[in-house]
Chain A
Amino acid sequence: EVQLVEESGGGLVQPGGSLRLSCVVSGFIFSSYATSWVRQAPGKGLEWVSVISASGGSTKYADSVKGRFTISRDNSKNTVYLQMNSLGVEDTAVYYCAKDRHMGLLPTQNDAFDFWGQGTMVTVSS
């Protein structure tokens, strides 16, 4: 069974602070799939945040987080991370990890998301 579990990192942080999210996956060959983070502010729609290629060699970011967030992965631990720095109130959201539907895509290829984690809430507030 495919599972993505945001195991740690969510919570309350002050503006300007940092947080690291972790997403542990199982049930598929993690090292063959690109993985993304997607967020959803309270009562709002979905916003793609970042993607990392299957090997970890290619990363991309939404303009809203570029320079502040860093995505990484450890294929030996079946885990993808999102390091979030210089957090602002606008970063308050549920953060989901999500896997690409197709395996083996080139970093220049994009895909829909067939499995998602349950989400972890990040609240930025003083």
Chain B
Amino acid sequence: DIQMTQSPSTLSASVGDRVTITCRASQNIGGWLAWYQQKPGKAPQLLIYKASSLEIGVPSRFSGSGSGTEFTLTISSLQPDDFGTYYCQQYDSYSRTFGQGTKVEIK
């Protein structure tokens, strides 16, 4: 199975900060990577698919990059509503594994 590793596990940042989350795959997954945001008690929400494609309705401050085994999610200017846990997910293989999550807190 393909393993997905995110870093950091938690981060605390101020409104307006640029925030970057990294996701590494245990093998080459091409560009078949998605990013989700999950808030407590809610279902995840798709932010980015195919590594860098912004989902409809998602603010443009979110962006994704990378290919192969290393990927990043960037929030260009952190907003109060951006708190939550962020997950990467590979869908190169049918098992569609998720990273362990990165919890983002607003200072």
Asked if A46 meets B44 with Cβ closer than 8 Å, knowing A63-B1, A101-B49, A110-B96, the reply is yes
CB pair B32–A96 under 8 Å, yes or no, is no
Tell me if A55 is interfacial: C-beta within 8 Å of chain B: no
Give chain A residues whose Cβ lies under 8 Å from the Cβ of B55: 114
- B44's nearest neighbour on chain A, judged by CB, is A116
**Residue A68 at the B interface, CB < 8 A?**
no
Q: Which residue of B lies closest to A117 (CB)?
A: B43
Most buried by B among A48, A101, A112: A112
User: Looking at B32, B38, B95, which has the most chain A CB atoms within 10 Å of its CB?
Assistant: B95
B83 contacts A by Cβ under 8 Å: no
Count residues of A near B (Cβ-Cβ below 8 Å). 21
Q: How many residue pairs bridge A and B at CB < 8 Å?
A: 59
**Whole-angstrom CA separation of A2 from B44 in the bound complex:** 15
The CA of A96 and the CA of B100, in the complex, are separated in Å by: 17
Asked if B43 and A62 make an inter-chain contact with CB atoms under 8 angstroms apart, the answer reads: no
- Contact indicator per residue, chain A 87-126, by CB within 8 Å of chain B (1) or not (0): 0000000001010010000000011111011110000000
User: CB within 8 A of A45: which of B42, B50, B92, B98?
Assistant: B98
Hey, which bits of chain B sit against chain A, CB under 8 A? 1, 32, 34, 36, 38, 42-46, 49-50, 55, 87, 89, 91-101
A interface with B by C-beta (< 8 Å)? 36, 45-48, 51, 60, 62-63, 96, 98, 101, 110-114, 116-119
Q: Please name 9 further chain A to chain B contacts, defined as beta carbons within 8 Å, in addition to the given A48-B96, A113-B44, sorted by A numbering.
A: A36-B96, A46-B44, A46-B87, A60-B94, A101-B49, A110-B92, A110-B94, A113-B34, A113-B36
